[in-house]
Structure 1
Amino acid sequence: MPEIDFISSVHKKTKRNYLERVTEYPKAKAANVAKKFDFDYWDGDRKVGYGGFYYDGRWKSVACALRDHYHLKSGDKVLDVGCGKGFLLYDLMMAVPGIEIYGIDISRYAITHAKEEVQPFLQEGRAECLPFEDNTFDLVISITTLHNLYCFNLEKALKEIERVGKKNKYIVVESYRNEEEKVNLLYWQLTCECFCTPDEWRWWFEKTGYSGDYSFIYFE
């Protein structure tokens, strides 16, 4: 269960004003809107979400890194838990011709507004109850999703990812290493329910029997 980073380069491209995040608009109100995971969260005002979640190719490098590290090939099955609009799955499909992609997300809006090429392979659902048989996927990924779950559902979700994956899994969660990063995370986040240090996340992985790879993103 090694720590390996494919994500930081993408995460660090976004410029963030943490103080403005909590002064320009009531944070509690923003969080209440964001947690509906509807239009406002994805394509509404930046104060309550992404401010427009559109494909721009930023996940291509991540898709290629996943392909190379996990030796993905035609016919392999990949599941993205918390796939959003399916941008990473699209880039994986482009990077590995013939790959079988599957995505699941809690947001009906994201699924119905997903990239056209991958929309048929996505479905609405929850991470803690994956509608797939044991050992179905050659790779299961979950990028910046699981920290949005309450502890009791986080435990179920990690066990579900372990259950449906044959061997390779890779998850990314938000974390903090010091008080400054903790404050920045609290200021910036809109949907988080689990606020864990790296050691606490590793405790969760061990507790649930998660055997895959992982990485953390920090708000520096």
Structure 2
Amino acid sequence: MALVEFVTPLHTRTARDYLGRVNEHDKAESARVARQWGRDYWDGDRRYGYGGYRYDGRWLPVAEAMAEHYGLKPGDRVLDVGCGKAFLLYEFTRAVPGIEVVGLDISTYALENAKEEIRPMLRHGHARELPFEDDSFDLVISLATLHNLRLPDLVSAVREIQRVGRRNRYIMVESYRNETEKVNLLYWQLTCESFLTPEEWDWVYEQAGYQGDVEYIYFE
């Protein structure tokens, strides 16, 4: 496995009020609502999630960096596991015209409110059982999704990503390296189920036979 940083520059641009996230609202109730993956999570009040997740072009540099790193070309197939509103997949079509993109997500709201241009390429489903044949995609990616799964589903999802990818794979998850980052992650997250250090994530990947790239984002 190789450690790469496609999302970290974007992640570190955002300032976060960790104590405010905990003190201003009932955090447990906010998490309960968030894990319904509906309008409240994507486009409702900030206490429940994104506070309005709208297309603004921020994912284009990420798509361009991935396309260059993995040598993507027209006709290649890319799958995003946990694609949400699929803004990153849309940017792949801009970065590499002629590329084929497919997205899968558990949120029907996100899929219904994805970029109109690629809604036909999106499917509803769970990461633990991908509805695709072996070796179906040149690149399989999953960003900020797998930490929302508990261990049995997590290992299954990583195995599925390994199974359907024929060339390159990339997984990004939330993690922590010290007590400060662990507390900040606990304060900030709403949907995380697997709170793991990079070393523990590496163990999960080993158990699943994963052979792709990884990225960890931290809450410093």
- TM-score interval (norm. to shorter): over 0.9
Residue 207 (structure 2) aligns with: 207
Deviation at 1:134, TM superposition (A): 0.1
Q: How many residues align?
A: 220
Residue 196 (structure 2) aligns with: 196
**Matched residue SS, 2:84:** coil
Deviation at 1:15, TM superposition (A): 1.4
**Matched residue SS, 1:61:** helix
Deviation at 1:13, TM superposition (A): 1.8
**2:170 equivalent to 1:176:** no
1:122-174 deviation digits (Å, cap 9, x = unpaired): 01100000000000000000000000001000010000000000020001000
Distance 1:13 1:207 in 2: 33
AA matched with 2:18: Y
Deviation at 1:118, TM superposition (A): 1.1
Residue 113 (structure 1) aligns with: 113
**Matched residue SS, 1:140:** strand
AA matched with 2:35: K
**Matched residue SS, 1:118:** helix
Larger mean CA deviation between 131-140 and 116-125 belongs to 116-125
AA matched with 1:162: Q
1:72-98 deviation digits (Å, cap 9, x = unpaired): 000000000000001000000100000
Distance 2:12 2:122 in 1: 28
Divergent runs of 4+, >4 A: none
| 1:149-168 correspondence runs (5 A) | 149-168=149-168
1:1-54 deviation digits (Å, cap 9, x = unpaired): 111111111111221000000000000000000000000000000011100000
**Matched residue SS, 2:166:** strand
**2:70 equivalent to 1:73:** no
Larger mean CA deviation between 4-13 and 176-185 belongs to 4-13
AA matched with 1:21: R
Deviation at 1:108, TM superposition (A): 0.3
Aligned-pair Cα RMSD in Å: 0.5
TM-score (norm 2): 0.99
**Matched residue SS, 1:117:** helix
**Matched residue SS, 1:141:** strand
Distance 2:215 2:54 in 1: 24
Q: Percent identity?
A: 60
**2:4 equivalent to 1:4:** yes
Gaps of 5+ in 2: none
Distance 1:211 1:127 in 2: 17
Residue 187 (structure 1) aligns with: 187
Deviation at 1:58, TM superposition (A): 0.6
Gaps of 5+ in 1: none
**Matched residue SS, 2:199:** helix
**Matched residue SS, 1:85:** coil
